[in-house]
Chain A
Amino acid sequence: MSIRIVARRLLFFVLVVWAASTIVFFIPRLSPRNAIRERFGELARTGGFSPGDIEKLIASMQQQFGLDKPLLEQYWQYLGNIVRMDFGYSLSRYPMTVTDVIGQSLPWTIGLLLVTTVLSFVLGTVLGAISAWPKAPGWMRTVATPFILLTGVPPVIMGILLLFFIGFRLNWLPLGGAYSVGLVPNWSWTFFLDLMEHQILPALALILGSVGGWVLSMRGMGITIQGEDYVNFAEHKGLTSQRIFRDYYLRNALLPQVTGLALALGTVVTSAVIVEGLFGLPGIGTALNLAIRANDFPVIYGIVLFITIAIALLMTLLEFVYPLLDPRIRNN
């Protein structure tokens, strides 16, 4: 891969981050809502400050956040802050910064995302490949069908159904939360098991909701590839069925599948975020949910930007993986 291509990909990454940050900067400023005023208005209702004090407080806060400066100056400062991953302070959990809030919830989200995405991608790809492979045994080809039928079901709804049937009706698994009420997080085996028990349903919701998509795209690729001359040639050369499946068929179908993964990252992450909210796992999704309920704008914007940057970064990294998978790109 030449330096020019690398530079182009990096420039693209920077442009995506810049576009997202600019949208997130300007949209709230077009709206008449004032985050700080609303927050203090709420405090005033519950705490009983006098209105005059509130105005002074708001003014000093706005000065502290730099909201009294000209818009363009604010914008430059904001872009500088983004580069340093500084998203400001949380309004509802004040001494904490947005970065703290994200840092606290991130491990949960990464764990859930990594396990579910890898499992559903691998499972979907293998099932899709088998379902389109004419030499696979009949029962193996039908295994994928139920997953295809589930494609239209968003993970959140899958989560609700699982909650109802497995959590509520059968009472096999807990209805939400990260661990049982009353347990204190520690490194013991019982706590770990309890933790895992609470992760099963959200993970299952995400996997069942997304396997079908991978099955469908892989199946489509598989059907296209079967008609190709090189597959016919391999067959006539007398290669074993397994060899053709692995080296001629799976290998060639894998590249568009990885491209699909890069394109689907946004959906994958947002689904995970919303499913987390549904099950009340203490990840980014719940942090976002709480921030929306508390009108904690810096946290909402910070989380949105952080996820966007993370996705853009992952997509850029995946672009660098292609040459490893496809010699045509490597030599070009």
Chain B
Amino acid sequence: MTLANMTPTSVAGTISRPSRRTLTLRYIRRNKGLAIGLAILVVLALFTIIGLLVIDPKKAYPLSAALKQPPSLKYPFGTDFFGRDLLAAMVVGTWQTAFIGVLAGGIGTLVGVVLGFIAAYFGGWIDAGIRTICQILTPIPVLLIQVVVAGSLDKRDVTIVTMAMIVAMLAWMGPTLVIRAQVLTMKERQFVAVAKLSGVSDMGIIFKEILPNLLPFIAAAFVGQVFGAVFASFYLAVLGLGPLREPLLGNIIWAAQSQGAFFNGWWWWPLEPAFAMILILGALALVNMGLDELANPRVRKTE
């Protein structure tokens, strides 16, 4: 850390502080990645929400439209080999992708936060046990284990929710280790010692003293988990292990690939979910990096 990076904050502290809102706005302006990422996510959310309100979701399923139509006025995104209106499929698919991401990411983060707190706060053999399990499971390529789980399920049992569960099942190790490390450093801080001396209970210290200070880390871990979950469910679907009837973005690509879409000249079919995926993953990556910067004062950009 250089001196040049540290002085401006202390200077800004002595002058009268602008309101919280201006500070947030100014921070967003400095942290452009976060701003762009959030903007793309908002646009995608609007696309799905308005789409779900305007379009008949049944059109996203087979035999609801003319077959193999290139993009036109009637079908702005074209239709596929199975007679799905791809505009509707994209709306429903993006919604389902977001659903899987948020559900699986939420579960992974929650399990990670709970285990991380338990490990760091109680220490001893509990900590050693949790840490060892995380370390042993980390090198195992999660996607492949997910392939085994998804492959072992009956095809009828694979739904959007089971997809999220499969993805969440092996994704809690990262957040556990991150939160554990953060709680460990937090535990040694003075405000925790003061709280302990003034007789605050264990739970009080965890929920009132440590947790609020960890929120930026938890937010960053959550976005990272959502990214991972979207990525993993996409890969599973591309391998043909997703809920095959649903217009999940990865499923559309899988279907296009099995019908040889490019060989047959139906270029719009695989290309649209690919672009949607780029937008989703790119936005999440930008937000993730932006939050990392917010959570980690060492790299935080100051005015």
The reply to whether the CB of B77 lies closer than 8 angstroms to some CB of chain A is: no
Contact present for A20 and B239 (CB under 8 Å): no
- The answer to whether residues A227 and B1 also contact, given A16-B139, A151-B285 and a CB cut-off of 8 A, is yes
The reply to whether the CB of A258 lies closer than 8 angstroms to some CB of chain B is: no
Contact present for A154 and B148 (CB under 8 Å): no
Closest chain A CB from B94 CB (angstroms): 15
Number of interface residues of B (CB under 8 A): 45
Which residues of chain A are near B262, meaning CB under 8 Å?
Answer: 163-164, 167-168, 175
Q: Which residues of chain B from 114 to 144 have a CB within 8 Å of any chain A CB?
A: 135-144
Residue of B nearest to A168 (CB): B262
Contact present for B140 and A19 (CB under 8 Å): yes
Report, as a range, how many residues of chain A touch the other chain: 35 or more
Identify A304's interface contact among B137, B148, B253, B286, CB under 8 A.
Answer: B148
Name 12 interchain pairs, CB-CB below 8 A, sorted by A. Answer: A23-B140, A28-B148, A31-B152, A154-B235, A161-B274, A169-B267, A220-B299, A269-B141, A277-B239, A292-B147, A307-B141, A311-B140
Contact present for A19 and B151 (CB under 8 Å): no
The reply to whether the CB of B277 lies closer than 8 angstroms to some CB of chain A is: yes
Which residues of chain A are near B299, meaning CB under 8 Å?
Answer: 220
Which residues of chain A are near B147, meaning CB under 8 Å?
Answer: 288, 292, 300, 304
Given contacts A175-B263, A266-B139, A307-B141, 15 further A-B contacts (CB under 8 A): A19-B140, A33-B153, A152-B284, A152-B286, A156-B253, A160-B270, A164-B270, A175-B262, A227-B1, A277-B238, A278-B257, A289-B240, A292-B147, A308-B140, A311-B139
CA distance A153 to B285 in the complex (A): 10
Interface class of chain B by DSSP: helix
Contact present for B239 and A274 (CB under 8 Å): yes
Residue of B nearest to A232 (CB): B2
Contact present for B257 and A27 (CB under 8 Å): no
Contact present for B277 and A227 (CB under 8 Å): no
CA distance A48 to B231 in the complex (A): 42
Closest chain B CB from A235 CB (angstroms): 14
The reply to whether the CB of B50 lies closer than 8 angstroms to some CB of chain A is: no
The reply to whether the CB of A297 lies closer than 8 angstroms to some CB of chain B is: yes
CA distance A315 to B239 in the complex (A): 26
- The answer to whether residues A154 and B139 also contact, given A24-B145, A24-B148, A164-B267 and a CB cut-off of 8 A, is no
The reply to whether the CB of B282 lies closer than 8 angstroms to some CB of chain A is: yes
Identify B136's interface contact among A16, A32, A265, A304, CB under 8 A.
Answer: A16
Closest chain B CB from A94 CB (angstroms): 19
Q: Which residues of chain B from 245 to 269 have a CB within 8 Å of any chain A CB?
A: 253, 257, 262-263, 265, 267
Q: Residues 132-164 of chain A: 1 if any B CB is under 8 Å from the residue's CB, otherwise 0?
A: 000000000000000000011110110011011
CA distance A23 to B147 in the complex (A): 12
Counting chain A CB atoms within 10 Å of each CB, the highest count among B137, B140, B147 belongs to B140
Contact present for A164 and B271 (CB under 8 Å): yes
Which residues of chain B are near A303, meaning CB under 8 Å?
Answer: 144
Contact present for B239 and A154 (CB under 8 Å): no
Contact present for B145 and A227 (CB under 8 Å): no
The reply to whether the CB of A270 lies closer than 8 angstroms to some CB of chain B is: yes
Residue of A nearest to B284 (CB): A152
Which residues of chain A are near B151, meaning CB under 8 Å?
Answer: 292, 297, 300
The reply to whether the CB of A15 lies closer than 8 angstroms to some CB of chain B is: yes
Identify B240's interface contact among A160, A267, A293, A308, CB under 8 A.
Answer: A293
- The answer to whether residues A307 and B277 also contact, given A16-B139, A164-B267, A168-B262 and a CB cut-off of 8 A, is no
Interface class of chain A by DSSP: helix
CA distance A266 to B151 in the complex (A): 19
CA distance A289 to B241 in the complex (A): 10
The reply to whether the CB of A312 lies closer than 8 angstroms to some CB of chain B is: yes
The reply to whether the CB of B149 lies closer than 8 angstroms to some CB of chain A is: yes
Q: Which residues of chain A from 1 to 56 have a CB within 8 Å of any chain B CB?
A: 12, 15-16, 19-20, 23-24, 27-28, 30-33
Identify B253's interface contact among A33, A160, A169, CB under 8 A.
Answer: A160
Residue of A nearest to B253 (CB): A160
- The answer to whether residues A152 and B285 also contact, given A292-B240, A293-B240 and a CB cut-off of 8 A, is yes
Closest chain A CB from B33 CB (angstroms): 10
The reply to whether the CB of B154 lies closer than 8 angstroms to some CB of chain A is: yes
Which residues of chain B are near A160, meaning CB under 8 Å?
Answer: 253, 270-271, 274
Closest chain A CB from B39 CB (angstroms): 15
Closest chain A CB from B272 CB (angstroms): 10
CA distance A27 to B253 in the complex (A): 28
Contact present for A270 and B144 (CB under 8 Å): yes
Which residues of chain B are near A176, meaning CB under 8 Å?
Answer: 263
Which residues of chain B are near A297, meaning CB under 8 Å?
Answer: 151-152
The reply to whether the CB of A179 lies closer than 8 angstroms to some CB of chain B is: no
Which residues of chain A are near B270, meaning CB under 8 Å?
Answer: 160, 164
The reply to whether the CB of B222 lies closer than 8 angstroms to some CB of chain A is: no
The reply to whether the CB of B234 lies closer than 8 angstroms to some CB of chain A is: yes
The reply to whether the CB of A214 lies closer than 8 angstroms to some CB of chain B is: no
Contact present for A168 and B267 (CB under 8 Å): yes
CA distance A161 to B276 in the complex (A): 12
The reply to whether the CB of A301 lies closer than 8 angstroms to some CB of chain B is: yes
Contact present for B152 and A27 (CB under 8 Å): yes
Counting from the closest, the 6 A-B pairs by CB-CB distance are A266-B141, A152-B282, A152-B285, A31-B152, A304-B144, A28-B152
CA distance A258 to B238 in the complex (A): 30
The reply to whether the CB of B46 lies closer than 8 angstroms to some CB of chain A is: no
- The answer to whether residues A27 and B149 also contact, given A33-B154, A156-B238, A274-B239 and a CB cut-off of 8 A, is yes
Closest chain A CB from B250 CB (angstroms): 9
Closest chain B CB from A158 CB (angstroms): 9
Contact present for B277 and A157 (CB under 8 Å): yes
CA distance A167 to B265 in the complex (A): 11
Residue of B nearest to A18 (CB): B136
Contact present for B140 and A153 (CB under 8 Å): no
Contact present for B235 and A156 (CB under 8 Å): yes
